[in-house]
Amino acid sequence: MQKGLVSVLTPCYNGERLISRLLDSLLQQDYPDMEIIIVDDGSTDNTKDIVYFYKQKFEAKGISLNYIYQDNGGQSAAINNGLKYVNGEYLVWPDCDDWYNNSKAISSFVYELKKLPNEYAEVRCIPTYVSDKSLKPISNPIFKEEYLEPCQFGKCLYSDGFIWAPGNYILRMEAFDNVNPQREIYVEKNAGQNWQMHLPVLYSHKVHTIKDSLHNVLVRAESHSRGQYKTYEQKKAKIRAYENTVIGTLERIKEMPENEKRCYKEKINSKYEYERFLLALSCREYSDALKLRKSLKTEQLKIVNALDRIVFWGGSNYVSLILLNEIMRVVRLIRSGLSRVILFVK
């Protein structure tokens, strides 16, 4: 582990039109001590040529760029592979289609992390979401007071107001290696890499949040996390992949007592069973919805809010499921209409 070195680990699949923005933003950083690791996840376009074009630019600045090719296995497989090549004291792992919007982003991350005691393993910033059509912010960066809470394990575990975009974080590799000395994360092709990177660290460490935005997140319909799942079966498979990833990652947290682990796993099972119920309802798969409704117990729904539980209790037979789905559809339309009115007034 090289003191002061920031390792930039980026998974990339068919990123020839996208990765240049990230690499340009890294070239513009005022922090000099970096290494770049690009893991090509089986790209079929000219990603390799683009990366090698930039390799010369980085080396001219004294920054190494390591290009690694693997057969297509998903983002988590790419990160899992690339972790073995990380030499830095610190790690950032941005997606290839996102980029830093400030030349002091990396140095700001390092500066903040150095000030903090070792119980703080991560520093993060507020994301700016950018349209893939205009490359302009979709909205101003939104800061919430709850982001300042240093214990984010529960937020991450239950996807409850957690900041997800990986480029918004920097991590102490010492903390990561303490909880994952083999540098092996749970690999699931359709679930990304964020739970696997965060949960083992956040179980025993804290995170500090910078109130500024230092990183842009590109919002595009065909990305890994948006728009890829269209059919009922595809959406159901995605939920299963998420559930498997969270539970698989919990299993690897050695510091967690078994009874606590069992409790978390039960709550995660309930959370995703309930999501499958709502999915079946929204897709009008009433037979599945009825089966899922019968398999759940109301006392297991502690992690969903009171309104959700009221809605859930309504679905006791086919007729009520159909009525419930139509009521929810009307509510969504009303909300959508109100949102458009509010935007127009603004």
For 277-288, write each residue's pLDDT tens digit: 889 888 888 888
User: CB count, 10 Å around CB of 331?
Assistant: 11
Smallest CA-to-CA distance from 168 within 249, 229, 100 is with 100
Does the reported pTM lie above 0.75? yes
User: CB count, 10 Å around CB of 317?
Assistant: 11
What are the C-alpha distances in Å from 280 to residues 231, 275, 321? 11, 9, 10
Average pLDDT for 137-164: 93
Range name among 65-69, 81-85, 273-277, 307-311 with the lowest pLDDT average:
307-311
Smallest CA-to-CA distance from 37 within 46, 26, 28, 45 is with 26
* Element holding 11 (H helix, E strand): strand 2-12
* Element holding 131 (H helix, E strand): strand 127-131
Helix axes 258-282, 318-345, angle to 10 degrees: 90
* Mean pLDDT (the chain, rounded): 87
